[in-house]
Structure 1
Amino acid sequence: MDQLFITLTTGIANGAVYGLIGLGLVIIFRSTDVMNFAMASLSTLAIYVALSAYGAGAGIVVALVVAVAFGTLSGVVVREALIRPLGQGKLFAALVVTMGLSIIVEHLIGRYWGEQPRRFPQLIDGTISIGNSNLMLQDVATIVLAALAVSAIAYLFTRTPLGSAMRAVAESAETAEIMGINAHKVARTAWALGMALAVLGVFLYAPKTGVSPVILAPVLFRAFAGILLGGLTSMYGAVIGGLIIGVLDNLAAAYISASFRDTFVFCVAVLVLLIRPQGIFGRQTFERV
């Protein structure tokens, strides 16, 4: 029973990371219709910047602030310099741009910091003994900080004028413009928020795996699975879908086979999507033809 509790808690911690990244992806997608495939590489770059700051003597909390600030700034820069000039409706072009940017950033990271994995410091060291098992305090910190971040985003979207404007743009950018809402300002905010959430998630996850230029590829893959499972149009669905993926992944590794953990998880995800293609919390849409 102790081991099951540890497995579930660790799975929730991993799922919280997938949920943060998925939430960032959904916020950007709903506000700008762009799926940011460069999110993983830009987040990795932010983590390397934080690692350099930590190595220069900055504390781990300062390094976290540096990482989130760098990620926020990179989101705004990418939106204004690369995505906005494409114009409205250039979804495929934006997709290609973000994929190309991802490859470029990964190459730059490898050239400047090297290809070898590096150890990343924990936000909180130590463990808690539960029966005969130990729970890492880093996992507890991950769950708590992710919950605080999601709560802050929920408050922003439901209780503030900016959140109302972002929801209006997500529903219809054209109607929002008619109402006097600056869609470009909303888009900049969405990219900044999305990147900040992703960087926070990666910062909390990196101590488990270390960092390398391509370390986040499987994490992004699972985050995508989470938002598809929860519903591409639902921010709550992205978080809950990420948690489900994290827990299933850990349970499969502990009680089935570590070699087939992804196979099991994605089989479950595919079965759910076959029954409910829009995801658990997604809305079914209809088009008149």
Structure 2
Amino acid sequence: MDHLFLVVVSGIASGAVYGLLGLGLVIIYRATDVVNFALASMATLAVYVALTVVNRGLGVWAGLLAAVLVAVVVGLIVREVLLRPLGTGRLFAALVMTMGVSLVVEATVADVWGTEPRAFPPLVEGRVTIGSAALATQDLVVIGVSAVAMLAVGWLFTRTTLGSAMRAAAESATTAQIIGVPAQKVARIAWALGLGLAALASVLYVPKVGLAPMVLSAPLFRAFAGIFLGGLTSMHGAVIGGVTIGVLENLAASYVSANFRDTFVFVLTVLILLLRPQGLFGTRSFERV
């Protein structure tokens, strides 16, 4: 029972990271109709900058702040310089553009910092004993910080004027402009928020696995699995889907086989989507022909 408890808590910690990445992807997609495949690579670049800050003796929390700022700035530059000139409705072109940005950023990171894995310090050291189970304090911090960030985003979207404007733009950019919602401003805020969440997720994740140029490739695909499981347009679905993926992969790795944990998770996701294509919390859309 203690082993199961540890597996579930560790899975929730991993799933919280996937949920943050997925939440960032959904926020950007709903506001701008862009699936940002460069989100993980830009967040990785931000974490390397954070490691540089930490190595200069400024502390890991200063590194976290630096990572969020760098991710936001880089994300806004990419959007304004490369994606905004494409115009609206160019979904495939924007998708290909973000893939290209991802490759360029990964190559830049490898050229500047090298490809050798590096250690990144946890936000909090040590372990916590609950009964006879010893939990890594970092896992509990990941869960707590992620929960606070997700609740803050939920409050922003449901309790503030800015959140109402962002929801209006997500429903229909054209209608939002007609009623006076500044679509470009909302899009910039969405990109900043999405990249900030991705940077936060990255700083929480890399102490456990080490830092490398493509460290977020696997978490990104698991975040996508969580998004499709929860529903592509649902923010709380992305969070719940990400946490579900994290717990399921840990259970599969511990009780089935570590070699088949991704297979188990994605097969289950496909089966759910066959029964409910819009995801567990997504809404089915209809178009008049």
**2:97 aligned residue:** 97
- Which structure 2 residues correspond to residues 95-134 of structure 1 after superposition, within 5 A? 95-134=95-134
Deviation at 1:64, TM superposition (A): 0.6
Deviation at 1:76, TM superposition (A): 1.3
- The question of 1:164 aligning with 2:164 is answered yes
Matched-pair contact (CA < 8 Å) for 1:176–1:183: yes
Cα pair 1:23 1:238 within 8 Å, conserved = yes
What is the aligned partner in structure 2 of residue 263 from structure 1? 263
**Local SS of the residue matching 2:176:** helix
Aligned letter for 2:53? A
Are residue 224 (structure 1) and residue 229 (structure 2) matched?
Answer: no
TM-superposed deviation, 1:132? 4.3
In the TM superposition, 1:16-27 aligns within 5 A as: 16-27=16-27
Cα distance in 2 for partners of 1:269, 1:218 equals: 16
**Structure 1 letter corresponding to 2:169:** V
Distance in 2 separating the partners of 1:5 and 1:279: 28
CA drift at 1:75: 1.7
Alignment partners' CA distance in 2, 1:208 and 1:282: 32
**Identical pairs, percent:** 60
Matched with 1:284 is: 284
Aligned-partner Cα distance in 2 for 1:270–1:142? 28
Residue by residue over 1:238-289, the C-alpha shift from the partner in whole angstroms, topping out at 9 and shown as x without a partner, is: 0000000000000001111001000111111111101100000000011122
Displacement after TM superposition at 1:129 (Å):
2.3
TM-score, normalising length: structure 2:
0.99
RMSD of aligned alpha carbons: 0.7
> TM-score, normalising length from structure 1?
0.99
| In the alignment, structure 1 residue 273 sits paired with structure 2 residue 273 | yes
| Counterpart position of 2:182 | 182
User: Corresponding residue for 2:43?
Assistant: 43
Q: Could you say which residue in structure 2 is the equivalent of 1:203?
A: 203
How far, CA to CA, are the matches of 2:283 and 2:21 in structure 1? 21
Q: Give unpaired runs (5+ residues) of structure 2.
A: none
Judge conservation of contact 1:21–1:223 (CA < 8 Å) in 2. Answer: yes
Say if 1:2 and 1:130, in contact at 8 Å, map to a contact too. Answer: no
* AA at the equivalent of 1:164: S
Deviates more, 1:236-245 or 1:124-133: 124-133
Aligned to 1:79: 79
Give 2:149's aligned amino acid. A
Whole-angstrom CA distance in 1 between matches of 2:257 and 2:281: 29
Q: Residue in 2 aligned with 1:8?
A: 8
Give the letter for the 1:47 counterpart. Answer: V
- Write the letter of the residue equivalent to 1:25: L
Q: In 1, distance between residues paired with 2:254 and 2:133?
A: 14
Contact 1:229 1:269 survives alignment (8 Å): yes
- SS of 2:135's equivalent? strand
What are the superposed Cα offsets for residues 117-162 of structure 1, whole Å, 9 maximum, x if unpaired? 1011000000112344321000000000000000100010011111
In 1: Cα distance, 2:75 partner to 2:160 partner: 22
Q: Residue 81 of structure 1 aligns to which amino acid in structure 2?
A: V
* Deviation at residue 82 of structure 1 after TM alignment: 1.1
| Alpha-carbon displacement from aligned partner over 1:47-106 (angstroms, at most 9, x marks no partner) | 000000100111111111111111111221111111111111111111111000000000
Q: Structure 1: which 5+ residue stretches go unaligned?
A: none
Matches of 2:128 and 2:268, distance apart in 1: 32
Matches of 1:193 and 1:10, distance apart in 2: 26
Runs (4+) off by over 3 Å: 130-133
